[in-house]
Amino acid sequence: MPEAVQTPKRPLLPAALRWSGPLLSALYGLGVKFHRSSARPQFAPVATICIGNITVGGTGKTPATIFFARELASRGRKAAVLMRGYRQQGGDEAEEVKSALRSFDVPVILGGDRHASALDAAKRGCNVVLLDDGFQHWRLRRDLDIVLIDGSDPFGGEKLVPHGFLREPLDGLARAGALLVTRSEHLSGEERGALAERLKRYTQAPIFFARHAPSGVRRLQALSGARDMTLADLRGLSAVGACGIGNPAAFWSTARDAGVELVAREAFSDHHAYGVADVERMVQLARAKNAQAILITEKDAVKIEKLELPADAAFVSLRVEFQIDGFAHLWPAIEASLHAGDARHTIK
């Protein structure tokens, strides 16, 4: 099995413009301050919980949003997920969330105006809304901000975009009601402790650790004579790993945790729009490496399975489950936000 490879995030600036990074980051920071100071945030008449982050790139917001929506629905709450509805969030991410929550009767509402979306959710009978990627959204006030910190790159280079990967200065973590360190399955106890101590410089919020665990697998094609796959079938499976997500290295790690032997890796850009040529490229690579399958994420599967796939190539998607250590200790904060929303709804 190949050794673990940590894929660095792609720089946001082209090489020729790297010299301008500090200046552009300073201008970006001024823009963030102006945008926040000019906003007039309002509460919605329902409990409002944000699942956000402080860096760009894949921290696991979508699996986290699905997790919290399921938890709320299983406890009798009528929840809705609010997504921006433009660019990538109106495409693969929205489809992934809708598919995962279909059996829980959780509507996914798309729209750049989150306050308007929250009002729409209230009219549909919802009593709690989840903002997917809303920590830097200023127009809608929240009862609770749950901020995700990527355990593999917690501080985004400590520089604002585009010079680094921070969406706002780290002092913004003071607004958080809880921090979730994601992809913590590969952190030692000592590393967890050191990271928690550093995060405490910026926030008094409780800190929890979350993991992305393989939870299922499915074939994209109905191959002749092939049975449904289980996680056990991944043990020793020779596969080409392919994905178009913000943190490819995290997917490689999850695949290895499931026992997959990655004989090659193909990392496309985040939210890549797959075409026939991409499918052919993956198939050719799998044939050249004598791979048994092409392993992709569920996020990529919603796009790839719409294309015509060769009958002799096995495309397999890996489902990942978001798990939180000590979730019972986080629930009281969520419950308090629900009560706050209920009080507004009752008063109104």
Statement to judge: residues 158 and 271 lie in one domain:
no
Over residues 169-180, the pLDDT tens digits come to 999 999 999 999
Question: Rounded to an integer, what distance in angstroms lies between the CA atom of residue 248 and that of residue 252?
Answer: 6
Report the pLDDT value the prediction gives residue 60, as an integer from 0 to 100.
86
Torsion angle defined by CA atoms of residues 68, 331, 153 and 190, in that order, rounded to the nearest 10 degrees? -140
80 phi and psi angles, rounded to 5 deg: -135, 150
**Pick from 80-94, 185-199, 253-267: least confident:** 80-94
Over residues 35-53, the pLDDT tens digits come to 666 667 889 999 999 999 9
Question: Rounded to an integer, what distance in angstroms lies between the CA atom of residue 261 and that of residue 293?
Answer: 10
Question: Rounded to an integer, what distance in angstroms lies between the CA atom of residue 172 and that of residue 200?
Answer: 12
In a domain, residue 124? The reply is yes
Average pLDDT for 122-132: 95
Statement to judge: residues 307 and 195 lie in one domain:
no
Statement to judge: residues 86 and 223 lie in one domain:
no
Statement to judge: residues 230 and 315 lie in one domain:
yes
Q: b/e per residue, 64-96, with b = 16+ CB within 10 A? A: bbbbbbbbbbeeebbbbbbbbbeebbebbbbbb
Residues in the chain: 348
Average pLDDT for 125-149: 94
Joined together, the tokens standing for residue 16 give 């020729």
In the chain, the percentage of residues whose pLDDT exceeds 70 is: 84
Statement to judge: residues 175 and 307 lie in one domain:
no
User: For residue 290, what are the domain limits?
Assistant: 214-321
Omega of the bond prior to 248 within 30 degrees of 0, cis? no
Statement to judge: residues 278 and 223 lie in one domain:
yes
Statement to judge: residues 263 and 305 lie in one domain:
yes
**Pick from 15-24, 67-76, 131-140, 254-263: least confident:** 15-24
Statement to judge: residues 195 and 313 lie in one domain:
no
Q: Find the CATH number of the domain harbouring 245.
A: 3.40.50
In DSSP notation, 143-205 reads SEEEEEEETTSTTGGGSBTTTSSBSS-GGGGGG-SEEEEESGGG--HHHHHHHHHHHTTT--S
Residue 5 has pLDDT above 50, yes or no: no
Which amino acid appears at position 238 of this protein?
S
Question: Rounded to an integer, what distance in angstroms lies between the CA atom of residue 59 and that of residue 53?
Answer: 7
**Pick from 102-116, 217-231, 282-296: least confident:** 217-231
Report the pLDDT value the prediction gives residue 246, as an integer from 0 to 100.
82
Statement to judge: residues 246 and 206 lie in one domain:
no
Instruction: Please count the other Cβ atoms lying within 10 Å of the Cβ belonging to residue 171.
Output: 11
Which amino acid appears at position 295 of this protein?
L
Q: What mean pLDDT value characterizes the chain?
A: 87
Statement to judge: residues 85 and 234 lie in one domain:
no
Joined together, the tokens standing for residue 20 give 């301008």
Q: Find the CATH number of the domain harbouring 63.
A: 3.40.50.300
What's the total number of domains in the chain?
A: 2
Residue 8 has pLDDT above 80, yes or no: no
Statement to judge: residues 85 and 168 lie in one domain:
yes
Instruction: Please count the other Cβ atoms lying within 10 Å of the Cβ belonging to residue 30.
Output: 10
In a domain, residue 12? The reply is no
Statement to judge: residues 98 and 205 lie in one domain:
yes
Report the pLDDT value the prediction gives residue 57, as an integer from 0 to 100.
75
Report the predicted TM-score, pTM, of the whole model to 2 decimal places. 0.86
CB 241 within 8 A of CB 262: yes
Over residues 77-121, the pLDDT tens digits come to 999 999 987 554 456 788 889 989 999 999 999 998 999 999 999
Reference 146, options 222, 92, 210; nearest CA is 210
In a domain, residue 2? The reply is no
